Structure 1
């Protein structure tokens, strides 16, 4: 499953009678990792495949960075970085193509480890809003839903919700960026953030601790959710609706 190249996942491929119809949305899902590999990635891919099938979207999964060209990216409504990790996933030319795509009106969604990606690329840092710093083990904590009316948060149905996940801390608070809209944060008192097993030289206590946010970049849109570490979450109906809403919002297709 680690090497997934150009797998076209569309209801239009499944049902020949619909194959001539144009999909409502065309999504490119980039899954390349050169750092930590998440065991949940196969289930995450399965979840997005099924979301696409249910909504009659065409979804392309790839680890092939050569799709990041002006010509190829123009085919897509949204680009997703799904559980990507590490530096230099794209060449300089490919990086410029992604920047032009988003600033020219394209959508971007970063899922979980997208903040653990491309630390040396200043524009990407702007795109995702913050970089990964560390985390305790998987815990149950209390999410604070700061905007219940966003397409990606309507699914939670409450001002707070218990959630089991790996809660990332970041090198900066995205809320301090006036262009950023924080949608979900976490109450640090609701889980043991001091159980810092792997990042002992790093202070992972943030105080005000956003986990989901979005912004406009040029004419485009960027959405980041730090949720989604465990494989089980990708079978969770609320989380699937969260991802669906993120994709619709990033594509400018929210109702």
Structure 2
């Protein structure tokens, strides 16, 4: 009887150890996988943001149990590679090759998640990034071409425009964003039935920008800075341009795009929304 009791105790202990290991293994399985594409070759402010993002997102991945990878190799924009991830990020640019664009379009059309930051929506003809991708700029983003921007990068008070959306439902009515260069677009997003504007510049921010050009200072108007297209699992976020010490040519960071706690919460909620997960 004593021998049987010992054996039973050993078996129970072994089963308990196996159960604990199984629970731990399950806990380590990421809720979803994120791949961030970037170029980080032009504009020191955009490069600064990419470097910040590639430090901040891995920390959040550890905290909230998702995985985060990043790559500057846009050739990875193909069906086989993308099939490993539930969310794609464009940190600073967009794919340029037709085969890459076709792969991304199919990824989104078949239920993939996406978040684009700041320059990822830029398009201006003529420039190094012309408006030569109608699906992306007109149908997917709905913003069309770049119109103008504020200067220099400054913080703004942002207003939540859609309190029913899961990304913004728990945010305060207004909050202070991190310093940024704010963009204006050629298309009025309010007229697009597929677009849901999430955040816009609050009127208390005006005048926004310091110049020196008067056109770089906004005194009035309506400026969406984050929105989603209801046909896709996506969020575009205009933030992603740090303030830099251009004047003294030190290229020193003067701000951080992750300095606003509420803005960071918005980023995380956007990420979980794109992944079809509850935050």
TM-score (ref. length: structure 1): 0.79
**Cα deviations by residue, 1:10-66 (Å, 9 ceiling, x for unpaired):** xxxxxxx74995321011101114543412221121111111121121111001112
| Secondary structure at 1:105 match in 2 | coil
Q: 1:142 to 1:239 in 2, by over 3 A?
A: closer
Matched, 1:61 2:85: no
> CA 1:187–1:172 in structure 2 vs 1: closer, same or farther (change >3 Å)?
same
Structure (1 or 2) with the greater strand fraction: 1
Asked if the contact 1:110/1:128 (under 8 Å) is kept, the reply is no
Residue 99 of structure 1: aligned partner: 105
- 1:82 is aligned to 91
Structure-2 separation of matches of 1:62 and 1:19: 27
Alpha-carbon distance in structure 1 between the residues aligned to 2:55 and 2:209 = 33
Segment drifting more, 202-211 vs 222-231: 202-211
**TM-score, normalised via structure 2 length:** 0.73
Counterpart mapping for 1:225-244 below 5 A: 225-230=237-242, 231-244=255-268
Residues 207 and 29 (structure 1), Cα distance of their counterparts in 2 relative to 1, 3 Å cut = same
| Structure 1 residue matching 2:257: 3-state secondary structure | helix
Name the count of aligned residue pairs. 232
Counterpart CA distance in 2 for 1:180 and 1:206 is 22
Alignment counterpart, residue 72 of structure 1, candidates 57, 81, 100: 81
Residue deviations 1:78-123, cap 9 Å, x none? 11101227xxx33211110100000111111111221126532111
- Contact preservation (8 Å) 1:77, 1:107: yes
Conserved 8 A contact 1:141-1:164: yes
In the alignment, is the contact (CA less than 8 A) between 1:180 and 1:214 conserved in 2?
Answer: yes
Contact 2:196 2:230 in 1 (8 A): no
Task: Give the aligned partner of residue 121 of structure 1.
Answer: 133
Runs of 4+, deviation exceeding 4 Å: 17-21, 193-200, 202-206
Larger-Rg structure:
2
Q: Tell me if the contact between 1:70 and 1:101 (Cα under 8 Å) persists in the aligned partners.
A: yes
Aligned residue number for residue 12 of structure 1: none
Structure holding more helix per residue: 2
User: Gaps (5+ residues) in structure 1?
Assistant: 1-16
- Match of 2:177, SS state, is strand
